[in-house]
Structure 1
Amino acid sequence: MFKKSFKYGLAVLGSCGLALTLWLVIYMIRPLPMVSETIGLQIPAGASVRGIADQLVSAGVLKEPYSFLAVVKLTGSGSRLQAGDYALNAPLQVLGLIDVLKHGTFDQLKLQLTEGKTFSDFRQKLAQMPGIRHETQHLSDSELMELVSGEAKPPEGWFFPDTYFIDKQSSDTEMYKRAYQKMTQYLSAAWETRQSGLPYKTPYEALIMASIVEKETGVEVERPQIAGVFVNRLRLGMRLQTDPTVIYGMGSRYRGNITRRDLLTDTAFNTYTRSGLPPTPIALPGLASIQAALHPANTKALYFVANGQGRHVFTSTLQDHNKAVRAYQLKKH
């Protein structure tokens, strides 16, 4: 009886091994189920093979990590996967993916996209970048957005500020797609965990608010407070009255300062003359500003003024705000 059971067990193991081998072969020759044509991936130094696999799942390159891990182990590639910033292009098979990850990013070009800059700044910087193929210079902003996102929408705010590495002779289209995809991923994830009761109907409205927060302060701990003030104003139907929106609406007319006349000159972006949010973002916000817009501070403040030392004074009444303005002006003059 024992001999029969043992022989049956061996037969089952043999058939399972054959099925597993066949499954791995099929997995290795099929294109990976990438969620988009180009996916950016940044692997930090010291990342484990499992950590890399989980990143690939989060980025939309893989549906699950275990098949990838099995192939890595089978090919003995685990110790050869390298940190770096990658642009993965479909169609891509798992062996091709492993080969890409084994070569790192040592001979790549670097692009620094800074928080608070505009899409126009980004486009100009990328157009002047040597070593890549410039395929989009003849496109209007709307045409470029249709190419990148499939929709001819305003481009401002839709590109995530970060440090990017790009292979030499890659196209500028690839760079735009990576920055756009990164922003949509971060914005979507942040929107899902947003604070309840916020006065935004869509993630895009939150992106607009994040861009205003980004331009109002470079001090990270102040961003939730700034957002809290503007959220309070929206809830009360008060105008935002924020200078960066006026400056953005001025465009090339802005020469470094704004006057009372500028504040009273109506544009689509002038939040002194118009209620609610401006029609589009006014800059490229970073993750901290996005989080602040979606998790504003619980505050009663409705006003703030720069204190001349890189920070702001927050107040809840117009009377206190005017006192703060006078105090700052006295110090300044």
Structure 2
Amino acid sequence: MWRHIVSNFLTLLVVAVFLLGGVILWGQQQYSARGPLSDAICLRVEPGSTMRRVSSRLESDGAVTSGAIFRIGAEYSEKDALLKAGSWLIPEAASMAEITDIITRGGASTCGTEVVYRLGVTSAEVVVRELDAATGRYEERAKFDPAAEGEVPAEFTQVREQADTRYRVALAEGVTSWQVVEGLKSVDVLTGEVAEVPAEGTLAPDSYEVRAGDTRESVLTRMSEAQAVILAAAWQGRAEGLPLQSAQEALILASIIEKETGVADERRQVASVFVNRLNRGMRLQTDPTVIYGVTEGKGVLGRGLRQSELRGATPWNTYVIEGLPPTPIANPGRASIEAAVDPDTTDYVFFVADGTGGHAFAETLDEHNRNVARWRAIEAERGNN
């Protein structure tokens, strides 16, 4: 009898172990299997959240099939105590294992809200925007001029109180170093003073993620290091036969190209005009250099140039001086730097606005004069409307 009982018990034990093993295997498969999400979502993990609370949110959002399996899997992989506060982008069909890795990995938030401080040539603005997880695009929620009087949008105040809000400084192509330093003063998440305005042209226009408490000097250092890398690579791959003696001269020419055209397809044509003029010993005769001689990069002129200014002797006035000015006149972007060291091959030595936002190029003075006459007619017509 006892032998029969023991035999039955052992049989039941084997069956139980087999079933338990099957359940564990099934759970592991569920944990690693393709998830049910049909569209990406943004999961916000509040500071102090627990894995139980997060798993319930994931289950209610349809991101996991079972909150219990998700928690057990996180515990089994020893990640249940590594939960990180922030806003995390959970991609379409992410498995429970992938989601666990996303929310325990740490680092900067991958979705949610960010504040962008845009430092432009004529103005600065603060933009509050939020990532639409389904489309992968940022949607603007608020925008304001930090220098203007008036109330700050409520959206800005709200996101500033969120611990996972990201911050970014976006530098426009063609801004001057003085404008950058002045603009950074309005970036209220940064700290510290700037001891000296960086040399003109040495800051790379780009978008830089910053953290609350970063110093303004550290951000400027990142911009300078980025520009140095871009310039060195461009100079290394420069075309042969350029009338440029150094990378610094390439940077100066790039800054003039940057200020002369905002049309991407024109940069190398504009570069060819200036290279041809340098090769022929012609003065560059470009208005942006005159403007820089008047303002020295400190703000916007805000009016047309006077004849006295076109004739005035400054180190930057290329109507007066020979060759390149002594320094850049702005901070050029990568495309203008690359255009300066690899211009189109043309015989152009003149260009003037054509009324479309671009320019009309010419090889001869007669052709250029006709282009100028057309431009003046367009200006006159616009003035009458």
User: Which bin holds the TM-score, normalised by the shorter protein?
Assistant: 0.5 to 0.7
Q: How many residues align?
A: 225
For 1:140, the equivalent position in structure 2 comes to 196
Residue of structure 1 aligned with 2:301, choices 251, 254, 258? 254
The question of 1:285 aligning with 2:329 is answered no
After the TM superposition, list the runs of 4 or more consecutive aligned residues in structure 1 that deviate by more than 6 angstroms: none
For 2:359, the equivalent position in structure 1 comes to 312
Aligned pairs for 1:141-160 (under 5 A) are 141=197, 145=198, 155-160=199-204
Write the distance in 2 (CA, Å) between the matches of 1:163 and 1:308.
Answer: 31
Over the matched positions of the two proteins, sequence identity in percent amounts to: 41
Q: Secondary structure at the match of 1:313?
A: strand
The question of 1:130 aligning with 2:188 is answered yes
Structure number with higher relative contact order (C-alpha < 8 Å, ≥ 6 residues apart)? 1
For 2:209, the equivalent position in structure 1 comes to 165
For 1:325, the equivalent position in structure 2 comes to 372
Aligned pairs for 1:82-101 (under 5 A) are none
Residue of structure 2 aligned with 1:108, choices 147, 166, 183? 166
For 2:342, the equivalent position in structure 1 comes to 295
Write the distance in 1 (CA, Å) between the matches of 2:211 and 2:166.
Answer: 5
Q: Which amino acid aligns with 1:140?
A: E
Write the distance in 1 (CA, Å) between the matches of 2:244 and 2:106.
Answer: 44
Q: How far apart are residue 310 of structure 1 and its match?
A: 0.3
- Cα 1:135/1:255, change in 2 over 3 Å: closer
Write the distance in 2 (CA, Å) between the matches of 1:201 and 1:324.
Answer: 33
What TM-score, normalized to structure 2? 0.56
- Output one character per residue of 1:273-331: Cα deviation in whole Å (capped at 9) or x when no partner: 00110111001101110111011010000000001220100001111111111122123
Write the distance in 2 (CA, Å) between the matches of 1:290 and 1:192.
Answer: 12
Work out whether residues 107 and 167 of structure 1, in 8 Å CA contact, stay in contact via their aligned partners in 2: no
- Output one character per residue of 1:154-182: Cα deviation in whole Å (capped at 9) or x when no partner: x1100000111111111111101100000
Q: Secondary structure at the match of 2:259?
A: helix
Q: Which structure has the greater CA radius of gyration?
A: 2
Residue of structure 1 aligned with 2:273, choices 209, 225, 229? 229
Q: Which amino acid aligns with 2:329?
A: I
Q: How far apart are residue 112 of structure 1 and its match?
A: 1.0
- Output one character per residue of 1:27-80: Cα deviation in whole Å (capped at 9) or x when no partner: xxxxxxxxxxxxxxxxxxxxxxxxxxxxxxxxxxxxxxxxxxxxxxxxx9xxx9
Write the distance in 2 (CA, Å) between the matches of 1:230 and 1:285.
Answer: 16
Q: How far apart are residue 102 of structure 1 and its match?
A: 4.0
Q: Secondary structure at the match of 1:247?
A: helix
For 2:137, the equivalent position in structure 1 comes to none
The question of 1:242 aligning with 2:298 is answered no
* Cα RMSD (Å): 2.4
Q: Secondary structure at the match of 1:224?
A: helix
For 2:230, the equivalent position in structure 1 comes to 186
For 1:57, the equivalent position in structure 2 comes to none
- Output one character per residue of 1:75-129: Cα deviation in whole Å (capped at 9) or x when no partner: x9xxx9xxx9xxxxxxxxxxxxxxxx84125543211110011111100011221
Write the distance in 2 (CA, Å) between the matches of 1:271 and 1:107.
Answer: 46
Q: Which moved more, 1:285-294 or 1:251-260?
A: 251-260
What TM-score, normalized to structure 1? 0.64
**5+ long unaligned stretches in structure 2:** 1-78, 89-104, 110-163, 381-385
- Cα 1:164/1:261, change in 2 over 3 Å: same
Write the distance in 2 (CA, Å) between the matches of 1:118 and 1:254.
Answer: 13
Write the distance in 2 (CA, Å) between the matches of 1:108 and 1:170.
Answer: 13
Q: How far apart are residue 254 of structure 1 and its match?
A: 3.2
**5+ long unaligned stretches in structure 1:** 1-75, 85-100, 146-154
Name the structure where strand makes up a greater proportion of residues. Answer: 2
Name the structure where helix makes up a greater proportion of residues. Answer: 1
Write the distance in 1 (CA, Å) between the matches of 2:302 and 2:225.
Answer: 33
Q: Which amino acid aligns with 1:192?
A: Q
Q: How far apart are residue 332 of structure 1 and its match?
A: 2.3
For 1:23, the equivalent position in structure 2 comes to none
Q: Which amino acid aligns with 1:112?
A: A
Write the distance in 1 (CA, Å) between the matches of 2:309 and 2:369.
Answer: 21
Residue of structure 2 aligned with 1:198, choices 242, 249, 267? 242
- Cα 1:132/1:254, change in 2 over 3 Å: closer
Q: Which amino acid aligns with 1:290?
A: I
Write the distance in 2 (CA, Å) between the matches of 1:167 and 1:262.
Answer: 43
Write the distance in 2 (CA, Å) between the matches of 1:197 and 1:316.
Answer: 20
Write the distance in 2 (CA, Å) between the matches of 1:140 and 1:274.
Answer: 28
Write the distance in 1 (CA, Å) between the matches of 2:370 and 2:170.
Answer: 41
